[in-house]
Amino acid sequence: MWLKPEEILLKNALKLWVTEKGNEYFVLQRRRGYGEGGGGLTGLLVGTLDTMLDSTSKVAPFRILHQTPDSQIYWSIACGGTKEEINQHWEWLEKNLMRTLSVFDSSDDITSFVQGKIRGLIAEEGKVSGVQEDDPEKFREALLRFEKWFDLPQKEKLVTYYSCSYWRGRVPCQGWNCQASSIYLSSISSSVKLVVSWNEIWRLEKTSNVILTESIHVLANGEDHYFSMFLHLSETFLIMEQLADYSIKRLFDKETFQEEPSLSDPLQITKRGLETNARNEQFRAFFRLPKEENLLEVYESFLWVPFSHYNTLGKICLSESYLCFASQDGSQCHVIIPMREARHSKPDRSSRALTVCVRGKRALRFSEVRDFDRLSNAINRRCGMTASPQHSASTEQSWNIHFSEYGRGTSMFCTKKTRDLIVRGVPEALRGELWMLFSGAVNDMAINPGYYSEIVDQSLGTSTLATDEIERDLHRSLPEHPAFQSDTGISALRRVLTAYAYRNPKIGYCQAMNILTSVLLLYAKEEEAFWLLVAICERMLPDYFNRRIIGALVDQAVFEELIRMHLTQLTEHMTDLTFFSSVSLSWFLTLFISVLPIESAVNVVDCFFYDGIKAILQLGLAVLDYNMEGLISSNDDAEAVTILSKFFDNVTNKDSPLPQTVQQNSVGNNDKASSLSKVDISDLIKEAYEKYGDMKSEEVERMRKRNKLYVIQTLEDTTKQNVLRVVSQEVKFNPSQLDNLYALFKRQHFLSCYWTMNSPVLLHHDPSLAYLEQYQLGFHQFRLLFTLLEPWSLCSGNDALFLWAFRLLDENQDGLVNFKEFCCALDILYSGTFTTKLKFLFKLHQPPEESLYRAVARVTSLLLRMEEVGRRLQEPTSPQKSTTSPTQAALEGALLDREACSTPERSSDTPSATITLEAGSIPQEVEWSFAFEQILASLLNEPVLVRFFERPVDIQARLDHAKGAQLKAKTNKTQTKNKLDSCS
């Protein structure tokens, strides 16, 4: 265990301890009397003494001391009861500290750093990890420190914390890595405090270099940050990765996580909840299970593999509706048993074995199961739910042999032999069945009986942007294929695409979906094609089919990374790999269907449904490798595209039963292509698996996550530039000020998305809107930001003014204001002339209802006329001398001007206001109201008011103040709610 560093005198301890190993900074010692070579009489005496002592007074037999070369003082930092325990501590020191200590110039700095690091490790070992609801004492102390150090909004919630070192250049600073629930990653040390928003991170990865053996690299706002010397680096990175991904999905994709209760409320996020969510995602992805399934229990056991005649060690993973098994490395074999297929289980307590009988007279035997009774009860509760759909049998010999040995249907063993058969190509008659099985679509359809028919009835006849686009693309899918040259095939394609657009309006319909669905309909029934499309769009190719095609761009970035790793000769010749990004986009979006002849492309789809995106990445590398010589010798991108196009035209499938007349891009139509050598698709896929098949699916998923942050931030940066380019034409802000305004507006938008569960921003989010409309503010967030930026000091009760401004800017009355509208209002207040500012305020104070406006105007006119008449009656009537005051003269002039400017038309139902007095009569009253020009003319006579409105505003100072105050605003929830209620 790690010890609080204490100074010791080694001189007096030499007779009691033996040095086992040492280096420049640390010494590992064994107490005499323990282990080999007891140390003679001294060792015997020491051992006897230690044996006689009380257990609380005994000295641990092993210890580690710290000492610098320039010092004679030693510090005890660790002890251990066994050699294995103390060696673990020694290895950690050598791995994490030795290189780091060499960068210090002073021995005092070395000792101070080591002491701080050891104290941090002790505190981390003492904390209760991930149990926020229990709120242990250690966590409470850390929470108090977190709130004191960072002064973040009260809503911010500390999820977990880790002792680590933060690197300032080449010098490490010992401190804490504190991870908050919403959008903050915080780090503090004795000399530095850092706060980074999760949504500002461009790259998050584990890395190593000459000085740092293992560290976490964070790229945010153009700056690199490195954290190292974690006690549990993998655990730390997992939580950071989960929090970053959570923020991205919530802020950029506007997901509300309704199906994940532990993540739906940011205030309730815990370390345990994040770890559970990560396990569930990995579980569903590996076994291709529906998104409703969560991993409930894991049991270690052996599974009897009948075709190999031995037991393989692995883990049983149990969810509510599935029992899954995967061998230790995951590649040897795995099997999925839906509980609807299980009939009963037979326990054998003597060997802790359990035999699960499934439909079709098959049985799977699990042995040496830990917690045997619990698993047996769990399976018995779930056995025999509902029957699954059946598929027609096939006479294909190779697959029939496989089915007889490995089983058929959902509980089939998936092994290396299964993959070998897939690589050779799936028989035509089996494609629909196996695609449904390997994609997991068979499970979706089984648990949703009648869903497709119901959604078809609801969706047909609707008219939306998606249905219009579907109609436009129906005849462009596979026009050469006979199946889509009649109304039967076109109608089926229409129903599937329309039903999916109705099911998932967030995606709706995107180009390339029609091509994929056309191929699915060739080999699967209509309902099966629908569920295959669901599996592709929602599980296997996430975020592919939307306006920004983020998923495809992420996989392109992964593809570039793999090219650098495996095709170094190509990267040396073509340092700019953006060409491969552009040319490979259709490969990923259509699974090579758009570039390969259809009879060859279906073999690629076979591999995709079995191995996922890994199969597409492997094939892409094989294609580039096959054309390496031509690509290296090409002079420009156009020539490289021609080389790849000719190659694809010459890929054939010798096993395809399709006639030549329906093949896409038939090579017979291209004389130049016909002169090139033919390549069989099975050989190409086999080569891809042989050269690049050792790529792990887990590694691909890690690469996806690592590149997703960078891709999204790049798109966000492009969106920002487009928005600023449009807005800059309307306002007078300089580029730097506009950039700062955008950052403030975007952050306020994110705060609304993150904390307000039912905010208008989330309720009205439409990903199909133009980039200018993607970030908007509801009234509450508008009021908070406008308060920080408006240039005048107003009274505290100014919510009414903000509400009027919000209504004025919200021209389409959807309860939201976009960035352009917000900037235009600020531009008037900051840079407008006296006239434009006054006109803006005049518009704010116009009553919204015309009838009320006219009524107020008539009453005001009547009162003013009565006052004027009263004054005239009290004045002496003298034609020679006028006693009218300047104010009265101005008022009379204003009234005469208004009468001259007023329109003669009057409503027939509006009564005239007349006044009859004994001293005389006043002519019939006309309708009266203030005009803006009259107000302006009056105010121009007051220089004080003019100077107030025209005084310059320090825009940058306001922006800097808002940036610092925006995240520190601590709003009382009750007061906020009352204000919102009163404004609504």
Residue after which a domain boundary falls, among 511, 540, 569: 540
**372 pLDDT above the threshold of 60:** yes
Task: Say which DSSP state 528 is in.
Answer: H
CATH code of residue 246: 2.30.29.30
Which helix (H) or strand (E) element contains residue 682?
helix 681-692
Question: Domain residues for 252?
Answer: 136-273
In a domain, 984, yes or no: no
Same structural domain for residues 442 and 465? yes
**Cα distance between residue 148 and residue 564, in whole Å:** 46
Residue 659 pLDDT level (bands cut at 50, 70, 90): low
Q: Which of 540, 542, 546, 544 is nearest to 613 (CA)?
A: 540
**Cα distance between residue 451 and residue 443, in whole Å:** 13
Q: Which of 602, 232, 583 is nearest to 435 (CA)?
A: 602
Same structural domain for residues 448 and 574? no
In a domain, 253, yes or no: yes
pLDDT attached to residue 868: 64
Q: Among 74-83, 93-102, 873-882, name the one with the lowest average pLDDT.
A: 873-882
**Cα distance between residue 716 and residue 251, in whole Å:** 12
β-partners of residue 223 are: 220
Phi/psi of residue 397, nearest 5 degrees: -65, -50
β-partners of residue 689 are: none
Residue after which a domain boundary falls, among 540, 563, 597: 540
β-partners of residue 338 are: 322
More confident residue, 495 or 949: 495
More confident residue, 165 or 601: 601
Residue after which a domain boundary falls, among 350, 385, 417: 417
Three-state secondary structure readout of 559-614? HHHHHHHHCHHHHHHCCCCHHHHHHHHHHHHHCCCCCCCHHHHHHHHHHHHHHCHH
pLDDT attached to residue 914: 38
Identify whether the C-beta of residue 914 lies closer than 8 Å to the C-beta of residue 925: yes
Same structural domain for residues 173 and 302? no
Task: Name residue, tokens 């105050």.
Answer: 965
Q: Show Cβ contacts of residue 59 under 8 Å, excluding neighbours closer than 6 positions.
A: 31, 50, 53
Which helix (H) or strand (E) element contains residue 233?
helix 233-251
Which helix (H) or strand (E) element contains residue 80?
strand 74-80
Q: Which of 559, 566, 625 is nearest to 586 (CA)?
A: 559
Q: Among 288-302, 674-688, 715-729, 903-917, name the one with the lowest average pLDDT.
A: 903-917
**Domains of the chain: total:** 6
On average, the pLDDT of the chain sits at 78
pLDDT attached to residue 614: 94
Highest mean pLDDT among 293-307, 576-590, 678-692: 678-692
**Which ranges in 82-106 belong to alpha helices (H)?**
83-96, 98-101
pLDDT attached to residue 182: 64
**Cα distance between residue 355 and residue 622, in whole Å:** 43
Identify whether the C-beta of residue 130 lies closer than 8 Å to the C-beta of residue 160: yes
Can you spell out the DSSP letters for 419-482?
Answer: HHHHHH---GGGHHHHHHHHHSHHHHHHTSTTHHHHHHHHHTT---HHHHHHHHHGGGSSTTSG
Same structural domain for residues 68 and 202? no
**Cα distance between residue 569 and residue 557, in whole Å:** 19
**10 pLDDT above the threshold of 80:** no
Query: Amino acid identity of 350?
Result: S
**Cα distance between residue 530 and residue 762, in whole Å:** 29
Which helix (H) or strand (E) element contains residue 17?
strand 17-22
**Cα distance between residue 347 and residue 379, in whole Å:** 11
More confident residue, 382 or 64: 64
Identify whether the C-beta of residue 545 lies closer than 8 Å to the C-beta of residue 507: yes
Query: What value does the mean pLDDT take over residues 349-371?
Result: 82
**Cα distance between residue 30 and residue 588, in whole Å:** 60
Same structural domain for residues 395 and 501? no
Torsion (CA) 620, 621, 627, 628 in degrees, nearest 10: 150
| The model scores a pTM over 0.85 | no
In tens, the pLDDT along 379-421 reads 887 775 544 444 444 447 888 888 888 888 888 889 888 999 9
Task: Name residue, tokens 């505003």.
Answer: 953
Same structural domain for residues 196 and 146? yes
**Cα distance between residue 676 and residue 699, in whole Å:** 37
In a domain, 979, yes or no: no
pLDDT attached to residue 864: 65
Q: Among 34-38, 228-232, 245-249, 955-959, name the one with the lowest average pLDDT.
A: 34-38
In tens, the pLDDT along 703-757 reads 998 899 999 999 989 989 999 999 999 999 999 999 999 999 988 888 777 766 6
CATH code of residue 584: 1.10.472.80
More confident residue, 855 or 252: 252
Residue 918 pLDDT level (bands cut at 50, 70, 90): very low
Query: What value does the mean pLDDT take over residues 921-949?
Result: 59
Name the percent of the chain lying above pLDDT 90: 23
pLDDT attached to residue 855: 54
In tens, the pLDDT along 181-223 reads 766 677 776 567 888 888 889 999 988 876 667 889 999 988 9
In a domain, 20, yes or no: yes
Q: Which of 895, 953, 949 is nearest to 925 (CA)?
A: 895
**920 pLDDT above the threshold of 60:** no
Name the percent of the chain lying above pLDDT 70: 76
